Structures are given as structure tokens and as C-alpha cells.
Chains A and B, each alone.
Chain A
Amino acid sequence: MSDQIEPIAPREISVHDVEFEQVVQNGPKGFFDQLQGFWVTFITMFKKVNTVQYPEEKEPTAERFHGRHQLNRHEDGLEKCIGCELCAWACPADAILVEGADNTEDNRMSPGERYGKVYQINYLRCVFCGLCIEACPTRALTMTNEYELADDSRSKLIFEKADLLAPLRQGMLMPPHPMYPDMEDVNYYRGDVKGSHPSQDVQK
């Protein structure tokens, strides 16, 4: 059958066919030559040490370092987040998930009509660019300087609202609770509310 292709026989190559180049090997350096090499090490011993004993010792970050996010509160403890999803919209890495919900009289989490019911940031995706912070219309979302964001599972690195919310400071009251009497949501945004109303204070 002439139309069948003849297999090409593999060419045999032997080690003897290859020419090896002779490598020139230098002998050991002299004693003074060796000292010259150690000199750099020696001098460095007297220089200022840059190494930090992390994690025992920690260096403060730059003031505006982009670290873990925080969901802030108004002065009376109500959440600043209104669940508008602008942060999620701005996020180039699709790291943020928000679901809004209605504030009701019995369950008020933030001033105004709307609050963020679900708030998640996926730190496996976050690139710490800060566009979400720029997008936030109520300054609810800011970044802290915390950078220790390592863990041993994927799910642990999806931070929920409870992980992100700022702690209650002096004078703040845990929501849900009503708005400050005679104040509207606009007053909250203008900073007119300076703390929880004495009548609401359950800590007393």
C-alpha cells in the first residue's frame, strides 16, 4: 500500500556523540580574599536593625493605611449604614454583598427608612482600594488600620455585619431602638445627635 506513511525509525544517539566542554575549576581563594567577603556582614552588625519581632512586636501602620473595614454608628448607637449598596456597586472586586430592609417602629436599626440587613465583605476578594469608602453616602463604611486578615478557611474570611460593626462607645445604645426624640434622619446626618437620649438609656 503505497499511500501509507512509512514510520521514521528513531535515530539512536549515544553519549559518545556529544562533545563536552571542559569546565575550568578555580582552586580555593586566599585567606584575605575570604575576609573581604565577611567585611560586609561585619559592618552590618553595627548598623540600625530594621527587623521587627512580629508578631510579638507590632509597628503602627501609616495613618491612612487601608485595613479592615468598619461599619460605624451614630452617636446614639444607631447604625449609619442604610443598605444602599453603593459600596457593593463601587467595588471593583465584587467583594461586598448588601441586602437592604425596612426600618419599622419596633425594629429600628438606623435613622430613616432603610437599613442594611445583610452586610458581608469577602476578604479573599477585597483589594483594599477604598472605592467603597468613597462611595458611602453616610460615612458608615470606613477602613481601620487592622491588617491581620489571615485565617484557615474561606468562610472565616467572609466578614458578616456583626464582625464589621463598630463597638458601642460611651453613651451609645445597642439598636434596635427609636430615633432620638424630635430628631429626624437629616439631623443624624448633620451630626445634631450627640448621644442617646437619657430616657432611652437602659444602662442606668
Chain B
Amino acid sequence: MTTTEMVDMISLVIDGFEVSVPKGTLVIRAAEKLGIQIPRFCDHPLLDPVGACRQCLVDIEINGRAFPKPQASCTIPVEPGMIVKTQLTSSVAEKAQRGVMELLLMNHPLDCPVCDKGGECPLQNQAMSNGQGESRFEGAKRTFQKPINISSQVLLDRERCVLCARCTRFSEQIASDPFITLNERGALQQVGIYEKQPFESYFSGNAVQICPVGALTGASYRFRARPFDLVSTPSACEHCASGCDMRTDVRRGKTLRRLAGDDALVNEEWNCDKGRWAFKYVTATDRLTTPMIRNSDGVLVQASWPEALAAAAAGLSGHKSAVLVGGRATYEDAYGYSKFARIALATNDIDFRARLSSDEEREFLAAHIVGSTTTYRDIDTADRVLLVAFEPEEESPIVFLRLNKQFRKRALKVTTIATKLSIGVEKLNGEFIKVAPGAEASALSSQALTNKSVILVGERASESAGLLSAVAALAQTSGAKLAWIPRRAGERGALEAGAIGNLLPGGRPVSDASARVDIATAWNTDSLPSDIGKNTNEIINAVNSGSIGALLIGGVDPLDNEMSAQTLAALEKAFVVSLEIAPSMVTERADVILPVAAVTEKSGSFLNWEGRPRAFDSAVTETHNRSDLRILSMVADQMNRTISLGTVTAAAKEIASLGRWDGAKVSITKVSAPSVPSISADEAIITSWRRLLDLGTLQKGEDNLAATSRRTVAVISPKRAQVLGVSDGDTLRISTQYGSVTLPALVEDIHDDAVWAPRNSRGSQLLSQLGIAHGAVVKVAKV
């Protein structure tokens, strides 16, 4: 609640102390404000009250009239003149709580030694603090078969459940994935899944985290450790641009689990399953640990650091070089790349966008996004949210949770301009404006937005020419707030750090002489290159044509771009220095490989899509791996063009001292949308997006997680299905001149001219298999 809002305050007395709280506050919260802890299981501040566990019983009296029996303090809002007596002052409340605890423990097994929750269990703790030592129950406890997999990630021990309904309420109210429910009645009541439908929600891990007993446990952490074994470090999620606050638990140098942190402004208390369960890539056995050099026979051999640094420096000095950063670098690392390109390589040929991108996007980012201050808060207060080329549930799950919260709370109107209706938008009951792939811009002009509206544009907008120009124009005319939500965690930070050809750090345009002087002064150098740098595709082409001879590459997957063949050719041709954590298609072709630290092994920060810094410290200290920044600094020293960025702290300090650009921004050249190609009966226009759980590099080795990913299908409209004679489950072949994919068909709400397939899922890696992913005509046939 902001201070500007008028709030009715209500005074009441709890255990003899008077307290004032806003109207509508629950008694249990008011007691918390006084520091009085009432035991509870079902109560959760972000879920609707339900009063299921009855553990929080207190004595309540209003204006002299007492309730005849103790009441559940988690369901009763405060009232003026209320006098509350908790277990601390009322023997009736205390006895009632003991009774409830005894009943809860009646059927709860005494298997704490084998339970993962042991040691951090609210039931264990409260049984010690508010329960009684002896049980009077002599019968046989109710038992169930244990455990049952309600998804490949989540295990359910029904006999441990205290029926608090936190998990079912979370699934229904927060994730809108009502895949679990309470079945049966009485003593046999139990959490269950619907027949044939496992608990395959992208947010299922939150249910495990909020379970107050060990009824729901995660398969990957099962029996791995006890709380006292773990060293917990607050961290930030490296998987997407949502910017979740996290907690990383490490035992003996190995990350064992990650939990959602508590940040009311960003992820509240939630995160997605990818952020929670995809961390094995760090401890994968194929991690790079020593530098490698390609010897005269063309074979990669291990080398010492001085040798490798010298080889990298010699190669980069000897050629005209360019830098490909990738979207996963931290803010400080991206700044290191940015400074390295300008000072050590004297070029603006740097691009962080290792994916489909355009020059229109680069101008859009420089003109409208760098320094933008649209936040989650704006979604909370928006009168309408327009999604453009953006699939929140798949591409930025916490944005989806925020939209869903506002939709459930006040029926926030969400409109999406897309080709295919998605599960996420269906859950938001969003307005679906169906357009052909590539024709998104034409639908924008008819949108009536106000200055309270928010436009969320995804990174896929760059794939439709003219779309970002139209978005910028719409934001300008309507006054609506504009936010760009990339998929990868490092992209916004890399943009702000100037790891792109048209911007210097702090959003300073390369084209502006005074901006260049600003940075040149701060960096203590005479001048900076003044030409606008090449973008990723231009860099690849320049390597193939011979005008660029060396590449410095961060975490880049060459198959993320539709020019994958050219990219691989360029990697073969150029002198490549690769900074990587694990072997990749780049390291296979690199001339010098310099191993770097993964996110949990270093400190730094990400900027999430809001531009909000998400700082983290190194969680694993037992490592020799160094951050990209440190290594870049060493290479620069070797080249005698020092960038003096030895530590993350130094980089952060330098970034802070540079400040933001307050001069004129780049203006965007309006690009008009090309006409949508016409298609014949056996053709369709392809469109796709990446799913949250797919073949992403950082999800490597997480088999349980991968098993909960959505089914790989090719989606066509009912009309096209009729033309092709296809029904659900038939096999469909999508082909181009490069290759084809064969997938089971699904007939759904999609534009008649289009076919959709996941971009990077098992059996459907469009960019490498078809060479394209959006807006191009493909052949579609029934197999």
C-alpha cells in the first residue's frame, strides 16, 4: 500500500497490547506486527485465507461480547474494539491449539529421520514449541502408499499431509494450473492429481517450497542433505530476465537446491521450475577447467594460463576483431566486453544479441529501452496490458504470475497480438488478436491505449520487420508505458553496458561526439571509435568475406541464429577466442579457449527487464574459475591496452561513476512492415517461440525437469487441418530447402495461414533443422 492512499486504521488489543492496523488485516497478521507468533500451517500471506488447519485458534472478544469458541485467527479480519487473547494469555486458546496439534499428529507418521523436511519443518518446530511431548493416540496410524510421483519432479507422501491446502491454493490462485486438488473426505482426504494429468505446471516447485510438512518433496533434492549441511547464499536467477531473487544452498562445493527468495517488488515469493531446478550444468562433468590452445596440427591441447593469454592477445591484436557477448553475461561482465572492444580492439563491432535480431531492434533499444523505468509496479496499476510478440508464461514466467495476480484481483485486461493462442493467455482470459506471422504491426494501430496502459514487447518483435517501429509509435501517441522483455537474463544489462554497436555504456549513443568524449575521458583514452558497429549478422558476414579476422566470443550458441551455417563457417575461418563454461559448438572451433566461472561461482549482478539490479555473491567458493571480466582484463593487459577491471567491485564502481547519458537519444528510423506472403494449399507461414522447458544449454542434465516440459507438437488451424486432411495426433512434416521436422499435429486456435512449432524442443529445433523460425513460408504435409 503506498503512502498516498488513504487507509482506514483499526485499533485492537492483542494480549493486552494495543495495535493499529489497516482495515481488512487478518488477526494473525496484526499479531505478527506485535511480534506475537501464532502457530499456523495453512496461512500464507500471498494466498487467500482458508482456515483449513485450525492451528491458529485464539480467543476473540468484540465490544464485550466473546465468541463462544476459539476462532481461527487467519480467517478473521480485525474489527474496532476487538480484544484478542492468543495462546500466550488465554488458557482456552492454548488448550485448543494443543488439541489441534494432537489431532494433526495423530495420523502424521513419525518418519522425520527419512523426511527431507526434517530440520526445517514448521510442523516439527511448532510441535516442539506449542505441542505436547506425549501422544495419547494408541491406534494404528493411517498409511498410504508412499511416495507417489505427481510429476517427474514432485513427489507426494500423502500420510504426511496435514491438509492445509497451500499447494492446491497456490496452483489455483497463483499459477492458475489447477492440476492438484483435495480428493475424498474425512480421514481419507488427500491431495491428488486428476487422472491421466500429472502436475505439470511451470510453477510446481513453489508448492514444494510452501508445503509446511514433508508431504511434497522435490525429486532432485530428495535425501541429499539436511539444513545444517547447507550453506545458503542469496543469489539471483540466471535463467531469464524476470530477475527472481533466489537462495542457493550449497553442500561441499555443490549446489543442491535453489529456492525462491522473497522480494515483494519482483518475484514476491515465487519462481519458476526452471530457475529452481536447472542448476546441474554448473557441476556437469564436462565443464572446462583449463585453458586450451589449438596447436600447429589443428588440435586443441591444454595450455597454461600465461600461454593461453598470450595466444589470445596475439590473435586478437593481429587481426581486425569483433566481439559477440551472448545474452547470459552479467552486467559487469558485459561492461568488461564493452570496454574491451572499445579499448583493446578499438572497434564498435560488438553485439550481445546472439539470436534473431535486426537493426531496427538496435535503434529501438537505443531510443526507447535503454534507461527505461517501466516496472512490475506499472503492471500492478495498469488499466490494460498489451503483449506484443511476447509469451509471458514461456518467456518470462514471473511477468505471467504478475499479470495473473492482477487478472484475478481486478480482472486486468490483457490483449495479445500473436499468431497462436497460448495456454498462458488463455489462463489470463486475454483478448487474442489473431494475425499472420509478420503482420503484427498492422494490428497495433487499432489498439486504444491510455497513459495508464503498459505495452510489453518481447525479443521476438525483432523478427517481424516494422513491428518495433509501430510499437514505438503507439507508445508515443498513446503515452502508454513501454517495456522490452528479453528472454535471457543478461540482455538488459548488456544493453546498459553498451555491449552493442550503437551504444556506449550508460546509454550514450556512439554517434554523439560528446558522449564519446564522456566515455573516453572516464576511460583515460584519447578517442573512441566513432563508426556505428556491426551487428551480429554483419560481423558473421564480415568474417566470411575476410574483413574481420578474429572473434572474441562469450556464451553464444551458433544455432540460435537463422544464419547458423554461415556462423559455423565464420567460426572455422576466424581466429576465435572463446570464454565458455562448457564445451560448445564455439569451443570446438575455437583457437583459444579460456574457461570462465558459472553464475554460482562468481559475484556480479544482472539487470532484469525493468533495469533493476539483481546483485548476487558467489555461492560456491571452492572454485578456481574466474569471471569473464577478470579474464578480459588479463587479455587486455597482455595486449598492452589495459582496461583495469580486475574485480567485479571495480567494474561496478566504474559503472556507477559513469552515470547515465542525459543528452539526446538516438531517433528511430521507421521501418515499414513488408506485406505478408501469400501461400498455396500445401504451404504455411512458420512461427514459433521457445518454451520455458526445452533444450536450452542451462537445462542440460536435468532429466526430471525435462520430463515436465510440454509436448512437442506442430499446431495448425482447423481450416488448414481440413485442407491438409489432418486431425489431432497425425504426423505433420514441416520442410524448407534446408531440412524438415516431423511432429504430431495439434489443431488449435491459430491463424489459418500459419503453422507453429516449438523453437528449441526435442525433435523441433527449428533454427538448425529448418534454418528459419518465424515469418517464412514453409511446406506443410501430412506424413
Interface residues of chain A, those whose CB is within 8 Å of chain B, are 82-86, 88-89, 99-102, 112-114, 137-138
B222 CB contact (under 8 Å) in A85, A102, A137: A102
Q: Decide: A84 near B229, CB < 8 A? Known: A100-B224, A101-B223, A102-B222.
A: no
Chain A to chain B contacts (Cβ below 8 Å), 23 pairs: A82-B113, A82-B114, A84-B113, A84-B118, A85-B225, A85-B226, A85-B229, A86-B113, A88-B226, A88-B229, A99-B224, A99-B225, A100-B224, A100-B225, A101-B223, A102-B222, A102-B223, A112-B114, A113-B146, A113-B147, A114-B114, A137-B113, A138-B113
Those 4 A-B pairs whose CB atoms lie nearest each other, nearest first? A84-B113, A100-B223, A137-B113, A114-B114
Nearest-Cβ distance from residue A14 to partner chain B, whole angstroms = 62
Q: Which of B118, B222, B226 is packed against the most chain A CB atoms within 10 Å? A: B226
> B119: which A residues are within 8 A, CB to CB?
89
A99 to B254, CA, bound (A): 13
Contact with A along B111-134 (1 / 0, CB 8 A): 001100011000000000000000
A113 to B224, CA, bound (A): 13
Nearest-Cβ distance from residue B623 to partner chain A, whole angstroms = 21
Q: Does B17 contact A (CB under 8 A)?
A: no
> A89: which B residues are within 8 A, CB to CB?
119, 226, 228
Q: Check A113 against B226 for contact (C-beta < 8 Å).
A: no
Q: Decide: A83 near B223, CB < 8 A? Known: A112-B114, A114-B114, A137-B113.
A: yes
Residues of B within 8 Å of A, CB-based: how many? 13
Q: Which of B114, B118, B147, B222 is packed against the most chain A CB atoms within 10 Å? A: B114
Nearest-Cβ distance from residue A7 to partner chain B, whole angstroms = 46
A83 to B222, CA, bound (A): 12
B 92-124 contacts with A by CB, 8 A: 113-114, 118-119
Q: Check A113 against B229 for contact (C-beta < 8 Å).
A: no
> A113: which B residues are within 8 A, CB to CB?
114, 146-147, 223
> B228: which A residues are within 8 A, CB to CB?
89
> B222: which A residues are within 8 A, CB to CB?
102
A53 to B361, CA, bound (A): 89
A112 to B146, CA, bound (A): 10
> B118: which A residues are within 8 A, CB to CB?
84
> A101: which B residues are within 8 A, CB to CB?
223
Nearest-Cβ distance from residue B203 to partner chain A, whole angstroms = 25
- Known A85-B225, A113-B114; 13 more pairs at CB < 8 Å: A82-B114, A83-B223, A84-B113, A84-B118, A88-B226, A88-B229, A89-B228, A100-B223, A100-B224, A100-B225, A101-B223, A102-B223, A114-B114
> B113: which A residues are within 8 A, CB to CB?
82, 84, 86, 137-138
Q: Which of B119, B146, B147, B229 is packed against the most chain A CB atoms within 10 Å? A: B229
> B114: which A residues are within 8 A, CB to CB?
82, 84, 112-114
A74 to B347, CA, bound (A): 72
Q: Considering the complex, give the chain B residue whose CB is closest to the CB of A112.
A: B114
Contact with A along B220-238 (1 / 0, CB 8 A): 0011111011000000000
Contact with A along B128-160 (1 / 0, CB 8 A): 000000000000000000110000000000000
> B147: which A residues are within 8 A, CB to CB?
113
A113 to B225, CA, bound (A): 15
Nearest-Cβ distance from residue A97 to partner chain B, whole angstroms = 9
Q: Considering the complex, give the chain B residue whose CB is closest to the CB of A103.
A: B223
A102 to B225, CA, bound (A): 12
Q: Considering the complex, give the chain A residue whose CB is closest to the CB of B227.
A: A89
> A83: which B residues are within 8 A, CB to CB?
223
Q: Considering the complex, give the chain B residue whose CB is closest to the CB of A135.
A: B113
> B225: which A residues are within 8 A, CB to CB?
85, 99-100
Q: Check A114 against B223 for contact (C-beta < 8 Å).
A: yes
Q: Which of B113, B118, B224 is packed against the most chain A CB atoms within 10 Å? A: B113
A109 to B775, CA, bound (A): 57
A84 to B224, CA, bound (A): 10
Q: Considering the complex, give the chain A residue whose CB is closest to the CB of B143.
A: A186
> B146: which A residues are within 8 A, CB to CB?
113
A138 to B229, CA, bound (A): 21
Nearest-Cβ distance from residue B10 to partner chain A, whole angstroms = 45
Q: Which of B146, B147, B223, B226 is packed against the most chain A CB atoms within 10 Å? A: B223
